[in-house]
Amino acid sequence: MKAIKSIFILLAIVFVSACSDSDDPQLGFETDLTEINSITENGLKVTLFASEDFFVGYNNITAKIEDENGNLLSGDIVVTPMMDMMTMSHSSPIEFPDGTTFQDGSFNFSPVFVMPSGEMGSWSIKFSINETEVTVPVEVSAPEKARLVSFMSMMDETTKYFVAYIDPKDPQVGQNDLEIAVFKKQSMMEWPAVTGMEFELEPWMVSMDHGSPNNVAPAHTENGHYKGTVNFTMTGDWQIRLTMKDNGNTCGTPYFDIYFQ
Ligand SMILES: [Cu+2]
């Protein structure tokens, strides 16, 4: 009972301090992230923030949404990544942890850019904010070590799968939480999450030709995300080797190169 009481007091303190902060509407949006791009269009200002420049793979982006006078907005939102490629255009997988509404000028979303910007085409993120359109051009680069692997299913040779590397972002010697997400290309505009796959996991140190014990193969949690444990027994170059299976049949063998000191 005493513990419950102190939790209530703690909550009350948190609540009161949260309220006093929000007296100034500009404090409704706070972030430690880096501003990547900003655009004002059709009376709205959209600013994109992330911890690093956008890359081919699973990105976490926060949008700050204001009117022209700097007031933070709330309402309904639809976000669509688009790549224009001369003769055609296509979207990419995207996740909305907050759903399709936003409050206090802040909206989080996670697009999985499937290719880099360049001569092949250019990316933009299309927002529909309370039914007003804003398009933010963005630059997407290929990271030094791939964080997205795509392959045709070995089973039907027509389904194109995309496996995105999420964690560990900062690998350490020992056991690390491993998280990946799987999507497929259904059409130019539909890139659904793939649930119900099974994985085998084998971390491999290519230069020294050995693996490691105490790994847990990633298993489906929700929305096409798979979580497991990868154990690195030393620093250096590792390959996270995966086998993706559907009902016991191998679809593909994606791997991610990792390097840490
Ligand atoms: Cu493209």
Q: What distance in Å separates the CA atoms of residue 245 and residue 198, rounded to the nearest whole number?
A: 5
Question: Structural domain boundaries of the chain?
Answer: 28-138, 148-260
How far does residue 135's CA lie from ligand 1's centre (Å)?
17
Task: Give domain 148-260's CATH architecture.
Answer: Sandwich (2.60)
Q: Report pLDDT for 21.
A: 44
The residue ranges of DSSP E strands in 91-185, in sequence order, are 94-95, 101-102, 106-113, 122-129, 132-138, 148-152, 160-167, 174-185
How far does residue 41's CA lie from ligand 1's centre (Å)?
25
148: left (phi over 0), alpha (psi -120 to 50) or beta: beta
How far does residue 8's CA lie from ligand 1's centre (Å)?
52
Q: Report pLDDT for 98.
A: 86
Q: Report pLDDT for 133.
A: 98
Q: What distance in Å separates the CA atoms of residue 218 and residue 101, rounded to the nearest whole number?
A: 31
8-state DSSP, 120: T
Task: Give domain 28-138's CATH architecture.
Answer: Sandwich (2.60)
Between vectors from CA 185 to CA 180 and to CA 190, what angle results, nearest 5°? 105
Q: What distance in Å separates the CA atoms of residue 251 and residue 159, rounded to the nearest whole number?
A: 9
28-138 and 148-260 in the same fold: yes
Q: 92 with 109: CB under 8 angstroms?
A: no
How far does residue 218's CA lie from ligand 1's centre (Å)?
29
Q: 201 with 241: CB under 8 angstroms?
A: yes
How far does residue 115's CA lie from ligand 1's centre (Å)?
6
How far does residue 90's CA lie from ligand 1's centre (Å)?
6
Kindly list the averaged pLDDT for each block of 10 residues, start to end, along the chain of length 261.
50 46 56 95 98 98 96 97 96 95 96 96 98 98 97 95 98 98 98 98 97 98 98 98 97 97 94
Q: Report pLDDT for 29.
A: 82
What is the value of pTM for the model shown? Answer: 0.88
How far does residue 64's CA lie from ligand 1's centre (Å)?
26
How far does residue 86's CA lie from ligand 1's centre (Å)?
10
How far does residue 118's CA lie from ligand 1's centre (Å)?
9
